[in-house]
């Protein structure tokens, strides 16, 4: 279910503070975060986030097209190794 428009997008307060500090410092250092549930807002454009996926940190560079999505959508938590059966069928033919 979608979040109410009157509430606005959800961004963790600690992440919002880091974004404001990074914009003020105007540096290219990535922001390390575990907050996959935070929504990407327009003030995050141009920043790089290292988003934790449970094992390691995945770098996510935010562009205009990412606004409105969640940070977790860009760091997958599961590794897809392919469909084993279809590969074996191709080899057998």
By CB atoms closer than 10 A (0-12, 13-18, 19+), residue 62 is buried
Return the C-alpha torsion angle 92, 83, 55, 22, nearest 10: 110
pLDDT digits (tens, 9 = 90+) for 20-65: 999 999 988 999 999 999 999 999 999 999 999 999 999 999 999 9
pLDDT digits (tens, 9 = 90+) for 58-75: 999 999 999 999 999 999
Give the pTM: 0.82
């Amino acid at each position: 279910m979608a979040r109410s428009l009157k509430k606005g997008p959800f961004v963790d307060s600690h992440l919002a503070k880091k974004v404001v500090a990074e914009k003020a410092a105007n540096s290219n250092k990535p922001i390390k975060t575990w907050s996959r549930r935070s929504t990407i807002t327009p003030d995050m454009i141009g920043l790089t986030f290292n988003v934790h996926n449970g094992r390691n940190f995945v770098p996510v560079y935010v562009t205009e097209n990412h606004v409105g999505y969640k940070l977790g959508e860009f760091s997958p938590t599961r590794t897809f190794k392919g469909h084993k059966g279809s590969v074996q069928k191709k080899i057998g033919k």
